[in-house]
Structures are given as structure tokens and as C-alpha cells.
A and B are shown apart, each in its own frame.
Chain A
Amino acid sequence: MSMKKLTCIVCPNGCSLTVLADGDSVRVTGNQCKRGEQFAKEELFHPMRTICTTVRTEFAAAPVLPVRVSAEIPKDRIKDVMEEINRVVIKEPVGRGDVVIADVLGLGVDVIATSSLLRYLKEEEKI
């Protein structure tokens, strides 16, 4: 039997959870809602995270463009995905939601632009 303390991050309440795992049976205490239990189980077995970062562009007026993954990825792949993202250079004025890397590392998740900054700059003829 193992015990792990977690802080629930589903909502701002930040419940302090205690997870008791014994083989396949998992007991969560300290949660105020169901989502907390779900969170604890996932956090224990397959923790998932979002990455928000930037990609390089070739435009001086906006040397970097913000991006994120379209859905959560396994926590232990953050570093690999960052490396992929850091290889990209944006050459076109992509917009918010546009795919920058499709199916990154075969994780079934895209890296998407989170800003139309380059579009706005293009319209203003600044790039």
C-alpha cells in the first residue's frame, strides 16, 4: 500500500488530497468534488500537462510567436516536445489556432499558434 499527498488543481479551491493506492484499488480523500478523485487517479497513473511556449519566427517585428499544445501531453514528454517546438521557424503569418506542428512526436496532439499577432502585423504592413 502506498500513500501520496497531492494538491488538486482542477479548480482554484486547491483541495489537499490524500491518495491511498493498494494494487488496483485507489482511495482518494480530501476532495470536495468528484473531479478531485478523477484528478488524483490520473495524476497518479498518467499525469498530463499542457505546454505553452513560443516558436521562433523570421519576422523582426515579432521574433517569437506564442504556441501551445492542442491537448494535454504526458508530463514526461514535456522536454521532448519542447525540443521539437524549438526546431520550428515560422515563415508565414499564421493565425490563432493554426497548426504549427501536426501530431507532434506522434502523440496525437498538435502544436498550435495561440495568437494572430503575425496576421495583425501583416494587415498593418509591419511584416
Chain B
Amino acid sequence: MNVKKGNQRLRKRFGDRVRVREEEDRIVVSGRLDSWEDIVEACSMCVCKKGNKHVVNDIVLEGRDPKPMRLPAERDSALEGERPDVLIIGGGISGASIARELTKWKLSVLLVEKEADLAVQASGRNDGEVHPGVDLKKGSLKQHYVLLGNRMYDRVCRELDVPFKRCGQYVGFRGWWNYPLVRLYAWNKKYVCGVKDTQVIGRKRLREKEPQMNPDFQFALYNESAGCVCPYGLTIAYGENAAANGAKISLNTAVLSMEVQDGRIRSVLTNRGRVWPRIVVNAAGTFAEDIAAMAQDRFYSIHPRRGTNSILDKQAAYLTGAIVSFKTVKKEQGHTKGGGILHTVDDNLLVGPNAVETYEKEDFSTEQASIDAVFQKQIQTVGKLSQRDIITYFTGVRAATFEEDFIIEKGRRTKNLIHCAGIQSPGLTTAPAVALYVEQLVVEELGQEREVEKNPRFNPIRKGIPRLRELPKEVRDRLIRENPDYGVIVCRCEEISKGEILDALHSLVPVATVDGIKKRLRPGMGRCQGGFCMPLVAKIISEEEHISLSEVRKAQKGSVITYGRTK
């Protein structure tokens, strides 16, 4: 980059408080600023589109002390001395899918996740859209992998027994005068960018397909390949399939430090002991930069971006059968299209997300203002949208780099390290394809030492817990006769049986907490939000795990539900 020009620009905007310098493998912005928004702006100003150097943020945020990474309370030596071929850091969609693909090889794979379950952070806190990639720039890694990933979804979800629907995406436009411009845009997407399903459809067809969309839309950009999946369901399925094929998944396990020697990671210290991996995969989401720093290979920075989604009652599901949003031709500010409305695989609606820059990587709290902003916008997509139908809402934090693209490559200074970083939207869509590439990188790297053999026993098929409510009567009846617990309905809103809950407790990545069961089966996700079933689920966990009710937790250690017997 042109450092001199960069500094001139910075000086003009921020005075002498910020400087940029170029190093061998990165662009470093340093100084002191007292607003996070300014830091994001300063770093974004230094992004260089040419070359392959990323912006590293060394600007000190004055007067604010970002919270340190939340650590699990567990302290033991469960992993002490383990020597896995591959250590994957992070149990989100990236880590779990990479673990699964690596079990195709005769490699010992250890995945560590600091949270009490897989998919607790970004992978459990997004809208589950499988993107067509129509809004991405050609040449980015995002765009490259989104096309590959989208195509893989039918097969992956079939193999992993995860519900997936290609529901299509409609982006509405007002004003006929915009038509030629959008036609041109669509043509470019279809023929130049390779998003082959891109079409522009007229008002009549839009009304037929999505009758509740704003009648003012004269035409829409339509991509039939867009789909939806349950993002944490898919992550857990990947994790379970990896475990079935021999990978070890260690939850409540955080990486604390690394021992690096001669450009190689020698050992990794966790709260559950020191492990000695041959190679490390960094899939640590918003903490990927911190892991990179521990590995002495920090050549990018993450600037977290919060987004809040609302979940609407099934009663509102008729408002759309697809993924709908609208666009104005005038260029919008910010890094998200302002969300949309998505009909989930479970027949709820998801509305959102918005996008807010933050320095807190783990602040998942919600604000009414975010929801108001999203609804104010999306009511223009579907007029009947109402906050009265909200049953719950959640916030996720995306792990954006300043280049707004993925970083999927071998370590620049540290040899036995592979980064899978900067994974934000459409990271769920790209994951199946990215996992294949990371698999290739790992096998290549380890193959330099000795040949890596195929795992002849690899089975790509996972059998999920049967979803009894969706089965034909006769099949459901037969399954109940084989296992009467399938006939005991615990969650009345989502019709989940005791048998399914026991299956989840006995699954390959079992998480015996109320949230663990909720994520696997949905009790507590319906309109009563667990009011009726939570005590019943807690009781089943206590009986099955032989613990007292006061030891049953909502999620991580400390999240107890009761304080013991009243008498």
C-alpha cells in the first residue's frame, strides 16, 4: 500500500493520533482513539485491495476496557499430554465441519470448544440462510466459496440428516425506472459472477409467489437456490458425525496459551491440560485474532459486529414462505442489507439482523432499539409484520476482518497452523466447501512429514434423532411401540417426546443441560418459551444423569436453575 498517502488521510481525519505502517506480511494501524467507531473507520481507511496484506488493528481504545474472553469454569487435566494429529480450536460451523471432513483420513482429531456446547456463538446466533451469493463481489473468497457451498447443501444435509429447504430469495424493488439497472445487475450476476439462478421477476409472479409482500414492489430479484437450515442443528450434526468417525470433541475447553518454537506450535495449554498437536486449525470465530497472536502469527484483525434477530410465532409464518427483503437502488450505508424476513425450516419467521460495530466480542445482550430499527425497515417488505408476534430474540456477533473477507490459509510465520478466520455471513453457506479446502491444506501439510492414509471406515451418514411429529402416523406408531418414551410428549408447543430427549442425552456429543436439549430438539423454543416443559426437561436430565435437580444447569457451569430442596 501507499503508506505515505494512508498516513495523510489518517492525519486529515484523526490528527496525529493514528499512524499506519507496512510490514512484511501485514498493515499495522496504531495509535490511540477514544471511540470504537473511529477505530473501525481508521482501520477500514487503511484496507488495501491489491496484494494480500491485511489490516492489523493496534489502536488503543482509550478509557474503555474490553472484557477478557469468557473462560469455562472447569479446571482439570482431562486432555493433559494428548498428542492429536490435528487440534481444531472452535466448535462453530467451521470447526465442526472441518473436523468431520478430516475424519475421512487416518488422523486423530481433537476439537476444543470453550463453551458448554457446539454452536454457542456466531454459528448458533444467525438466521440460517443458505445464501445464493447474489450480493457478493467477484474475486472475494466469500463469493468463491458461497457458490461451491450452496451447491453442496442438498448432499450434506441429506448425509447428516438435517432439514434443509431451498425456499428461494426475493428482493423487492420499487419504481419501474430502476428496472433496466437491476436487469443489468442480474445479468452480471448470472453470467459474470456465476450466480446462475439469478432472475428478475415481474410484479405478477411476485404476487403469486409471495402475496404478502409489499404491493408497491414492481419487480424482484429472485434466486431459487437460496435456502434455510437450522445453523446450530447443522453444526451439531457435523460434530456428531465427526465424533462417530473418531474425532474427539472436548467442550468447556479453552485455549489459554501456546508454546511456539522455530515457527512451529509445540504445545497448546488449555484449562484441561496441555496438548501437543502436529497441526492446529484456528476456527475460533471472533477470537481467531487472539489465537493467531498466541501462535505468533497475527496478520489480521477482527472487528466484531453485532446483529439482532427476532423470532416470530408460527402464526405469523404465512407472511412469507421464502427469504424476502427489499432494496433501493441508491447505495446503502453499512455492511448488511438491513436484514430480511426468513421462513425457517421449523416454520417460524426470523426478522433481522441489523449491524452494529462493537469492541465486545461476547456481548450477546439485546436492545429494543435494534428490534425497532429492523421492524421499521422490514415492515416495508411485508406490511403485516408485527412485533406482537415476537416470541423471542437473540444477538449474534460476527467476526469481520477489515477487508470484509475470509482468511483461509496456512500460517504466514507459523508453519503448523491453518487459519479459518474472518468467517462471517455467508459463513454457514460456505462452510461445507471451506471444510474441504482446509482438509486439503491439513493433509498436504501433514503429508510432508509422513503419508496420510484414508480412513476406510469413514461413514458420511449420520442418523439424527427421529422427529416423531413429522413422521407419518403408522411410522410414529411403530416407533412408539418399540420405545414407549417416544409417546410421552414433554414439550407441548413443539411436540417433543421424552424418548427424543433421552436420545439427545445419549447422542455422540451429548450436552446434558436445558439449553443443550433445547438446541437439539427445540423444547422451549415454542410459544410458551419453556414455561411448561422446562421443569420436566430438568427432571429428565436429573434422573438420567443421576444428579439432583439443583445440579441441572441451563447452560454453562454456574447457570443453575434451582437452589435445592425447599425443605
Contacts and interface: CB of A to CB of B under 8 A. Distances in A.
9 contacts: A54-B566, A54-B567, A55-B567, A56-B565, A56-B567, A63-B565, A64-B566, A64-B567, A86-B567
Q: How extensive is the interface on chain B, given as a class?
A: under 10
SS of B interface (majority): loop
A54 B565 CA distance: 12
A64 B565 CA distance: 9
Contacts of A86: 567
Nearest to A89: B567
Contacts of B565: 56, 63
A81 to B, nearest CB: 14
A56 B565 CA distance: 9
Contacts, number: 9
Q: How extensive is the interface on chain A, given as a class?
A: under 10
Given A63-B565, A64-B567, A86-B567, 6 more contacts: A54-B566, A54-B567, A55-B567, A56-B565, A56-B567, A64-B566
Interface string A42-68: 000000000000111000000110000
Contacts of A63: 565
Contacts of A55: 567
Interface of A: 54-56, 63-64, 86
Interface of B: 565-567
SS of A interface (majority): strand
Nearest to A60: B543
Contacts of B567: 54-56, 64, 86
A55 B567 CA distance: 8
A89 to B, nearest CB: 9
Contacts of B566: 54, 64
A93 B117 CA distance: 42
Nearest to A86: B567
A67 to B, nearest CB: 11
A71 to B, nearest CB: 23
B566 to A, nearest CB: 7
A127 B63 CA distance: 62
A104 to B, nearest CB: 16
A61 to B, nearest CB: 11
A115 B566 CA distance: 18
B437 to A, nearest CB: 53
B128 to A, nearest CB: 40
A64 B549 CA distance: 14
Contacts of A64: 566-567
A45 B567 CA distance: 33
Nearest to B549: A63
Nearest to A82: B567
A64 B562 CA distance: 15
B174 to A, nearest CB: 56
A63 B567 CA distance: 10
A54 B567 CA distance: 9
B4 to A, nearest CB: 75
A30 to B, nearest CB: 39
A46 B566 CA distance: 30
A84 to B, nearest CB: 12
A63 B542 CA distance: 14
Nearest to B543: A60
The 9 closest A-B pairs by CB, nearest first: A86-B567, A56-B567, A64-B566, A54-B566, A63-B565, A54-B567, A64-B567, A56-B565, A55-B567
B546 to A, nearest CB: 12
A64 B567 CA distance: 9
Nearest to A56: B567
B567 to A, nearest CB: 5
Contacts of A54: 566-567
A37 to B, nearest CB: 39
B488 to A, nearest CB: 14
A64 B566 CA distance: 9
A56 B566 CA distance: 9
A5 B486 CA distance: 58
B563 to A, nearest CB: 15
A56 B567 CA distance: 6
B460 to A, nearest CB: 43
A63 B565 CA distance: 9
Nearest to A85: B567
Contacts of A56: 565, 567
B186 to A, nearest CB: 65
